[in-house]
Amino acid sequence: MQKWLRKWVRKFEKPLTVLAGAASLSFLLLNFDFNFLEANLYDMRVSRSYSQPPNPEIALITLDDNTIKTLDEFAPLPLKHHIRFLEKIAEYQPKAIGYLIDMNPVFQMKGEATKAQVGKLVSAIQNLKNQHIPFLLGTPFDVTGEVLPPVGLEGVDHAIAVVHKDGNVFAEDKVTRRALLSLYERPSFHLLFARKTGAIGENEFPPGTFYVPQVDGKYFFFRYHQSTMVCRENCSHQYNRYSFADVLTGKISPDLLKNKLVLVGTLSSDDSSDYALTPYAKTAFLNPKIVVHADILDSILKKEGILRIPGAINTGVTFIVTSIVLWWILTSTPLWGVFATLSLALTFIIVSHLLFQFYGWWIRESQPLVGIFVSYYLAVPYRLIREYKKRWDYQRKHEILMQVEELKTNFLNLVTHDLKTPVARIQGLAEVLMKRTGDRLLPPERETLKNIFSSTEELNHFISSILELSKVESNRLQIQLASRDINQLIEKSITDLQTLATHRRIKIHSNLEPLFPIKIDPALISKVINNLIDNAIKYSPEGGEIQVRSYEEDDWLVVSVQDQGIGMSEEEKQNLFTRFYRAKNDTTTMISGTGLGLYLTKYFVEAHRGFVDVDTQKGKGSTFRIYLPLSDATINKLPKTHSTFFKDKLDLAQKENSDVSSPSGR
């Protein structure tokens, strides 16, 4: 069971690491609110998104600088002006009136208000009700609770009217993002005003309402409309706003306020309390509080509250994005990891902005974004540590392999050198014995001596191949260049192998064009030609023919050896020049060989900056061609399909070629 478990863990090590890392990081991020970052991301969504235009049914009447100048009074104006205003506005037949002026300072101006004046004010409000025009007085709020209206106005419908600021919650930056809906189970001004107009049910709350038990109140994040943006080009996207003095003096057409939801409030350029800091204002200017009141009311009327996604979903989103980042970093290239991480962060921001804009869903961006970048900066060092460990393991294995390779090379050198002497002695004794006693031996005994002689030849050839391979792999092979006519080397090889060809009744035809001498290593090229012709003889049927040609083709000198042998399949051709490779078929099993001949042939040719080409067809023979450059300029024209097989060794060979006059021998 333990063995199976270890095997399963090793198999899924990377996915398990990603999931464990993402789960740990998500759990850790749950303990941090990142409210300051989230508030700025929230404000960016508010200020950069397209908002619905303001409700045209809402009209604002402001006790502004024009009113103060026209009436030659101080804000918030004596009580008589408010009485005249309420009597006058009844003529405009509004749908409802929300009075957001704190009446306590009004009652304290120029002494206490008389009972007659208070009675007139209450009478004006009652007159509005008689005309079925709801009236709601907004009262201020302090840390102790609601500030009640002045004596005499207790019976007037009133509710808390406050523009909430994130003073000790969320970002704690005094920005207005949410609105109070109820306190101690009593509706706020905006909710009660909307209920009086019939736009929302008596027990209904806008979407996104949440309860805060610490204050026993309900809040919601409301939508800001285009009215809160800077009015520079298109000012039609503003709530209809009129001056308090213009209503008193009758300068406003009655149709402008008919069936409107009228909000009345102060707006003085000298009074900072008449303004609020909003997400738009952080990049523009302070917005009038009366406009913010209108936005809160508008959001309730349109049911446009922002719905906060539950924390479990935010945690799930954080887990998913961190898992993706960790997987990318651990499985992809560093450059792709950076690009993918930034793309994921940008995609997440865009998607969350679209959900916020069109559906009012508020997905907290802070935790997932922090998770994305923290997971990236944690995963990169982790991957570097793993890769360093792997590199260290590879280096250690490489050092061990180098030691093994050195031991193997030393062993081969030792064995081959020690074998050469006894093999040569056996071969020499066999030759002497055959010469001295050949005529006195019986045919079976003479055949035995021939077998001894041929076996020692084969063993000597194998030892020579191993020595050549040892030189190649240890970079001890030195090329000794000399100007030679390659046709002479071909003729000598044909002469040396003629006996073997005659024994198998194979004819060797040569077609050698007159060629200029080129710089080659005669010993190495002779081994190449001998190997190609010897292979052609071995793998050709008895009575077959072999064609050996030499000619110039463009800037190359070409030596071609064509046989009528067994040919090769495409798979055999692909592995043809691999060391110790021999095709497995009935013919090759009966023919002795080391599998090193063509490997060394390719190496020797490429050491001369040439290449080997093969045309073969199963059952119809093969044609081997070696291409040698006629000059140094030809090397640059080496076809891409014949790229060098041993580039590191060829560079060394080229270095040896540049020192032709070196006195060092083999």
Structure-token pair, residue 366:
């802070």
Q: Break the chain into its structural domains and give their ranges.
A: 16-34+310-474, 53-303, 477-657
Q: Which residue has the higher pLDDT, 287 or 351?
A: 351
Distance CA 22, CA 371 (A): 9
The count of other CB atoms within 10 Å of the CB of residue 218 is 20
113 SS3 class: coil
Max distance between CA atoms of the chain, in angstroms, equals 162
Please list, in sequence order, all residues whose beta carbon lies within 8 angstroms of the beta carbon of residue 45, skipping any fewer than 6 positions away.
352, 353, 356, 357
299 and 360 in contact (C-beta within 8 Å)?
A: no
Q: Which of 94, 185, 82, 190 is nearest to 136 (CA)?
A: 190
pLDDT value at position 471?
66
Cβ 61 vs Cβ 236: under 8 Å: no
pLDDT at position 196 is 92
Identify the pLDDT of residue 317.
92
Mean pLDDT for the stretch of residues 124-130: 92
So what's the pLDDT on residue 607?
A: 84
Model pLDDT for residues 539-557, shown as the tens digit of each residue: 888 888 999 999 998 889 9
Is the CB of residue 542 less than 8 Å from the CB of residue 501?
A: no
Question: Tokens representing 347?
Answer: 């995609």
- Residue 285: half-sphere exposure toward Cβ, Cα within 13 Å: 9
| Exposure string for 20-59, b = 16+ CB within 10 A, e = fewer | ebbeebbeebeeeebbebbbbbbbbbbbeeebeebbebbb
What DSSP designation does 112 have?
Answer: S
Q: What is the pLDDT of residue 43?
A: 86
Q: Is the separation of the CB atoms in 56 and 94 below 8 Å?
A: no
Picking from 566, 569, 481, 464, the residue whose alpha carbon sits closest to that of residue 521 is 481
Neighbour-count burial of 170, counting CB atoms closer than 10 A to its CB (0-12 exposed, 13-18 middle, 19+ buried) = middle
CB atoms within 10 A of CB 429: 14
Query: Would you place residue 298 in the very low, low, confident or very high pLDDT band (cuts 50, 70, 90)?
Result: very high
Kind plus residue range of the DSSP H or E element containing 307 = strand 307-308
Tokens of 170: 């969320």
Reduced to 3 states (helix: H, G, I; strand: E, B; else coil), residue 627 is: strand
Q: How would you classify the pairing of strands 217-221 and 178-183?
A: antiparallel
Instruction: Output DSSP code: residue 90.
Output: G
pTM: 0.62
Identify the residue whose tokens are 């000198």. Answer: 557
pLDDT at 470: 67
Is residue 654 pLDDT above 50, yes or no? no
Q: What region does 536 belong to: left with phi over 0, alpha with psi -120 to 50, or beta?
A: alpha
Architecture of domain 477-657 in this structure: 2-Layer Sandwich (3.30)
The whole-angstrom separation of Cα 74 and Cα 69 is 9
**Strand (E) or helix (H) holding 329:** helix 311-331
Q: What's the rounded Cα separation, in Å, for the pair 492 and 557?
A: 18
pLDDT for residue 9: 58
Contact call for residues 350 and 342 (beta carbons, < 8 A): no
- Over the stretch 574-597, which tens digit does the pLDDT of each residue have? 777 777 666 665 555 556 666 677
Q: How many CA atoms lie within 13 A of 80 on its CB side?
A: 6
Task: Please give the distance of CA 573 from its chain centroid, rounded to a whole number.
Answer: 41
Within 360-485, residue ranges assigned H as helices are 366-437, 443-473
Query: Is the model's pLDDT at 658 over the cut of 50?
Result: no
125 contacts 147 by C-beta, under 8 angstroms: no
Q: How sure is the predictor about 651, in pLDDT bands with cuts at 50, 70 and 90?
A: very low
pLDDT digits (tens, 9 = 90+) for 363-417: 999 999 999 999 998 888 888 888 888 888 888 888 888 787 777 667 766 666 6
If we measure between CA atoms, which residue out of 594, 593, 595, 578 comes closest to residue 646?
Answer: 578
pLDDT of 315-347, one tens digit each? 999 999 999 999 888 888 888 888 999 999 999
Of 254-263, 344-353, 454-463, 494-503, the range with the lowest mean pLDDT is 454-463
Show the tokens assigned to 375.
Answer: 């997971």
Mean pLDDT of 250-260: 90
What's the pLDDT tens digit per position in 98-112?
A: 999 988 888 877 655
- The rounded distance, in Å, linking the Cα atoms of 601 and 292 is 89
Strand partners, 561: 548, 624
Average pLDDT, the chain: 81
- Helices 366-437 and 13-29, axial angle in degrees (round to 10): 160
- What confidence score (pLDDT) does residue 662 get? 35
Quickly count: other Cβ atoms within 10 Å of residue 577's Cβ.
18
HSE value, Cβ hemisphere, 13 Å, CA-based, for 410 = 6
User: Are the beta carbons of 627 and 562 closer than 8 angstroms?
Assistant: no
Alpha carbon separation from 99 to 91, 141, 227 (Å, rounded) = 17, 15, 20
Instruction: With cut-offs at 50, 70 and 90, classify the pLDDT of residue 642.
Output: very low
Please tell me whether residue 63 adopts helix, strand or coil conformation: strand
Closest CA to 371 of 319, 335, 327: 319
The rounded radius of gyration (Å) of the Cα atoms in the chain is 49
The answer on pLDDT for 148 being more than 90 is: no
Residues of the chain with pLDDT > 90, as a percent, come to 26
